[in-house]
Amino acid sequence: MMPIFRRVAVIGKYQRPPAATAAEGSREVIDGIAQFVLAQGCELALEAETAALLDLGARYPTLDVEGIGRQCDLCLVVGGDGTMLGVGRHLASYGTPLVGINQGRLGFITDVPLDSYQDALTPILHGEYEEDVRPLMQACVMRGGECVFQALALNDVVVNRGSTSGMVELRIEVDGVFVANQRADGLIVASPTGSTAYALSAGGPMLHPSIPGWVLVPIAPHMLSNRPIVLSDASEVAIEVVGGRDISANFDMQSLASLQHGDRILVRRSAHRVCFLHPRGWSYFATLRKKLRWNEGGS
């Protein structure tokens, strides 16, 4: 039976491995996955930077990320959740489905184990999978009526203080309606995907991926009555910097340092979404049990 995905791309970690032995190991992993994909009857392309860093450009066709979005039916992302976040943002506008092969530590969204990827990928390539669509955030920093920085985020938008500075004061509005002024170490606006990341460690709730919502989570607030709030993701959240110093905004792994008093960070739902494909039988709750080690020691 021929695969339903005719042209498949493979993307590895963007950073260069720190040692020669690590580089060789990464090269073997990507090379093995590429050979497996070809053996399934698919056409293959390696992401150009991955191929260059691992010296595989002479063995396989290469494409940049935009070329992958335009020409490929499926993208295999080898790495951890951070790698997947970056790839997801870049490919969201093309609608390219993604499969994550976990070469990192936790792996909430890169959930195919590296040591058994062949068993998981074979049915996926032939149309047996669970589809998991996640929304993106569109954020911009407004200064004096002008957008000075904008970015997409899959996990969260975070406004926080510097490591050696005191609390920040933030004015929060939702759909133009004043909510509160908060003094805290910062504030997180997280998607359901990001609710199991920084927002969770700051005391926020976990949102099921099917919920069209966001969670606002203060980071170490001055007033303990400042609690996380769940909002509709159809809302626009505005965060204005009122006080504090050394304040930065972070959009997943993208940062804007040195926010100024009066800057407004606007967060809206993006028109783009990311589509993850999981092995048949995948369950969000099974992922939580495994990654968060629920029921350890129990029956």
DSSP run (H or E) holding 257: none
Q: How many CB atoms lie within 10 A of CB 36?
A: 18
Q: Indicate which residues carry an active-site annotation.
A: 81
d(CA 195, CA 137): 13
Q: CB neighbours of 135 closer than 8 A, spacing ≥ 6?
A: 191, 192, 212, 233, 269, 270, 273
| 70 Cβ contact partners less than 8 Å away, ≥ 6 residues apart | 94
Please state whether 207 falls in left (phi above 0), alpha (psi between -120 and 50) or beta: beta
DSSP assignment of 50-115 equals HHHHTT-TTTS-EE-HHHHHHH-SEEEEEE-HHHHHHHHHHHGGGT--EEEEE-SSS-SS--EEGG
Reduce the DSSP state of residue 189 to 3 states and report it. Answer: strand
Separation between Cα atoms, residue 257 and residue 267, nearest integer Å: 17
| Amino acid symbol at 29 | V
Q: Are 279 and 130 in contact (CB under 8 A)?
A: yes
Bin 58: left if φ > 0, else alpha if -120 < ψ < 50, else beta. alpha
Which residues 6+ apart lie within 8 Å of 146 measured at CB?
none
